[in-house]
Amino acid sequence: MSEEEAVGAVGEAELAQNAMRMLEMISGYWVTQILRATAELSLADHVAAGAATPEEIAKREGSDPRTTYRLLRAAASLGLFADAGDGRFSVTPMGGLLRKGAPGSLREMAIVQGAPFHWQTWGALPDAVRKGGTQMQAALGLAEGDTVFDYFGKHPEEGGLFAASMANATGMVIDDVSAAVDLDGVSVAVDVGGSTGALVHTLMKTRPELAGVVLDMPHVVDSAVQAAGEAGVLDRFTAIPGDFFEDVPAADLYLLKMVLHDWDDAQCLTILRNCRASAEPGARAVVVESVVDKVGEPGFGALLDINMLAATHGQERDFAEFDALYAASGWQRVSTKPTRTPQFIQELVAV
């Protein structure tokens, strides 16, 4: 083979490789919808409970046996199920993450990410880029100025699923955060925008004298109270319906887990300043967020940033952008710790 032919062969091989990779990216939403359907139809739960054939699963779920088989086959190609022989399936450890209530379950996350309200906002992404901000109001039929949280308030079933999906996300980082947060000198911890309060409840269980508070929207707080009862910390827990853009309860420790990325810089400053205004002497804050890497480096942060553009008024940030927010709101970042997920734990002190 001549040098010219060798260069051409390499070029053709690279082109084919790039084309296959591009095809995987183009069809990426197929995977999202397979996961959503697998979760909604409880396939992993049925198989784990002993219904190992498509016919057995279809009888339990009320689905069609043939199309149930086709979904199982597709899910098995993604590593969620394994062929157990004789037309039977078994659940893999990864597939087990779609089981209801399983340790580390991401079932609700799979349903929410594939749900209509989510892909409709993504469908407006080109317009969001053209116009300089989310077009989710038009995509979801909301009034100008409404947020995705207003949508959930008007659609409580979907709001409940979203809250459960956030509990899924919390479950991925909760052990790392619990191990990293120093509770010495902390009497009251406020989970700001904490949904059902999974994080503060976990901290309360590690420190019996700690009082915990969740501040969130009125339609969320009943779920937080219920979760506190299930966690066995209800006697030390308070759920406050409120608006962190108006005020935040006084505390020694403020927990801001995946909150700041929902909002633009001006709104983040309001949240952080309200925390600082009510802070007890020596107060600290813990911010848990993804962080955007350098341009061109593979990472989850830059992808999540586009999700925020599509569905919210927020964004993901790099450390310099976070520090600028902290400096303008009376906080200083004093430590940063990675987790086993794309999230980082940032500890702040009041200055």
Residues with catalytic roles: 261
Q: How far apart are CA 190 and CA 113, in angstroms?
A: 28
Edge to edge, what strands does the sheet with 237-241 contain?
A: 237-241, 211-216, 188-192, 251-257, 279-290, 343-350, 331-338
Using alpha carbons, select from 155, 127, 128 the residue that is nearest to residue 142: 155
Residue 104 DSSP SS3: coil
Q: CB–CB of 253/189 below 8 Å?
A: yes
Using alpha carbons, select from 127, 144, 215, 199 the residue that is nearest to residue 166: 199
**Cα-based angle 294, 345, 132 (whole degrees, multiple of 5):** 50
Q: How far apart are CA 153 and CA 243, in angstroms?
A: 14
Q: How far apart are CA 241 and CA 194, in angstroms?
A: 11
Taking residue 52's Cβ as centre, other Cβ atoms within 10 Å add up to: 21
Question: What does residue 335 show for φ and ψ, rounded to 5 degrees?
Answer: -160, 155
Residue 82 DSSP SS3: strand
Supply the Cα-derived Rg of the chain in whole angstroms.
Answer: 23
Cα–Cα distances in angstroms (integers) from residue 128 to residues 117, 191, 232, 304, in the given order:
16, 31, 44, 15
Q: What is the dihedral of CA 175, 167, 138, 218, to 10 degrees?
A: -120
Q: CB–CB of 284/348 below 8 Å?
A: yes
Beta strands in 203-305 (DSSP E): 211-216, 237-241, 251-257, 279-290
